Amino acid sequence: MALALFDLDNTLLSGDSDYLWGCFLAEKGLVARDYYERENQRFYDEYKRGTLDIFEFLAFSLKPLADNEPDVLSRLQQQFLDEKIRPLMSPASFELIDKHKQANDTLVVITATNSFVTRPIVKAFGIENLLATEPEIINSRYTGKVDGTPCFQEGKVTRLTSWMQEHHLNLQGSWFYSDSHNDIPLLKQVDNPVAVDPDEQLHELAIAENWPIISLRHTWK
């Protein structure tokens, strides 16, 4: 029994839920479309380059949560899952998840994307544990601010370390699956780092370190 850690966007999912949520909001007319689509793309490009200012991005991405009523958000959340996310949940991802369940591992999704967007997705994958960037909630309303340490780059290590202490777990025999060079700090901490459909920088590192490289875009072997 060991920890099996999974990045979400472009790893278990064949797409990026954070970016797609922004596109979804623009499609629904809930944000100023031209501005929002332009900024959403800019932040996504910066993320891929490794130059993202996470706090600038969170100020942008969490604002719609503060601007909308909870019942509206709940309806949008389910619609987003059904329309945009389920088509990106590959059979290979479910097979990999099941492999670790059969081994009695403790499964955790650890993602920079906020928990409002990701919690329903993780539940749909059948995974109980989620470490994500947490939007601040006061009096049952989102404030548009982040609560605690963003679960991004070194922040994933920080958040996971605290979570393991709370649950009396460690990284012995651990696995981490990710597509992104932004996750290199955590990939270097686990016993079994695995590059999944990796970006160019992570692909080069995985080859240099002799880490496994797999794809979840087809049936997993």
Query: Block means of pLDDT (10 residues each) for the chain, length 221 residues?
Result: 96 97 94 93 94 95 95 95 97 98 98 98 98 97 97 98 98 98 98 98 98 82 37
Catalytic residue numbers read: 7, 9
Q: Which of 75, 79, 76, 61 is nearest to 134 (CA)?
A: 61
The predicted pLDDT at position 1 comes to 84
Query: DSSP labels for 46-93?
Result: HHHHT---HHHHHHHHSHHHHHS-HHHHHHHHHHHIIIIIGGGB-HHH
Q: Under DSSP, is residue 155 helix (H, G, I), strand (E, B) or coil?
A: helix
Burial environment of residue 43 by CB neighbours within 10 A (0 to 12, 13 to 18, 19 or more)? buried
Residues with Cβ within 8 Å of 184's Cβ and at least 6 positions away in sequence, in order, are 202, 205
Kindly list the domain boundaries of the chain, sorted by start residue. Answer: 3-214
Question: What's the gap between Cα 196 and its chain centre?
Answer: 14
**CATH number of the structural domain 3-214:** 3.40.50.1000
Q: Which of 6, 16, 51, 48 is nearest to 200 (CA)?
A: 48
Rounded CA-CA distance 162/111 in Å is: 15
Pairing of strands 175-178, 192-196: parallel
Rounded CA-CA distance 73/200 in Å is: 36
The predicted pLDDT at position 199 comes to 97
